[in-house]
Structure 1
Amino acid sequence: MFVEFLRSNKIVAGLLAIIRIYLGYQWMTAGWGKMTGGFEARGFLQGAIEKASGDHPAVQGWWAAFLEKVALPGADLFTFLVMWGELLVGIALILGVFTNFAALMGIIMNFAFVFSGTVSTNGQMILLTAFLLVAGYNAGKFGLDRFVIPFLRHKVMERKNRLKGVIAEAH
């Protein structure tokens, strides 16, 4: 019942738009700050790996192993992905375009930061993003998704019907 309410109510769509724009602003400014501030992931990754030791580690061993074996050797790639990922997720959420995909990528980044021992606003952002994801299309209803999603659905149906015609002719 609550999920259906999140997915269909117009007032909720308006509240979700406010949440979406807030989250988008947070992501966009974080990404822009990293792009213009000389962000380099190597230091963050090394700090997260160090948090995996001691009596009460903030980072789980399996995640530290991933950071040490995969992320740290690919620090340049992760620097690029974090900066651009944050910026693009922010822009997409503000505009309400591909909202669900942007929210999914945002929550994945939030969880990666939490797994790396960074609390900050990540918990709050995860909670708010969960509402966007559960709401589905309604989260982008007052955004560009209102136009983009029906257009893409139409294009997919056209292709599907064309493919059906080709298959029917082959038989």
Structure 2
Amino acid sequence: MMTMKMMMMKMMIKILNMMMMMMMMLMLLLMMLLMLLMLLMLLMLLMLLLLLLLLMMIMMMMMMRRRRRRRRRRRRTMMMMMMMMMMILMTMTTTTTTTMMMMMMMMMMMMLMLLMMLQMLLLLLLLLLMMISIIFRGFNIHGSGRVYLSTSAADVTRRNHEYYSKRN
């Protein structure tokens, strides 16, 4: 017959196991989300780069058209200005996207760290429960390989009797 305390212990362990499983699932989901976000960010970057390239092409075309009409000096200055503008745009976009990515990564990492901490705490709780049970009950390991959580004399004699009767 299992005592109430044994039942409670078993229930606690089951609950803790369930919680651990849930934590693992959450972690996996977070990782998946992180990967998806990374991919999205990369796609965004590529799109931005393509757009910038298109802009560059348009600007170049415009410059080519203007070349015929205006003088050389103006053309050169205009080209330089356009190039500078393009460079600034490129840098701005890339920096913003990268910073966003970094922020997202940091957030995700923080979440993962918190989850890990929770997992560790749960494990510690389990260990504490086990330790408490051992200290207060003392495991009584018999030849049958079963582990008992009580050491009252009557229980021990009864168990021994059961064990030896089974052996014979």
Q: TM-score, normalised by structure 2?
A: 0.28
Structure (1 or 2) with the greater helix fraction: 2
RCO comparison, higher one (Cα < 8 Å, 6+): 1
Q: TM-score, normalised by structure 1?
A: 0.27
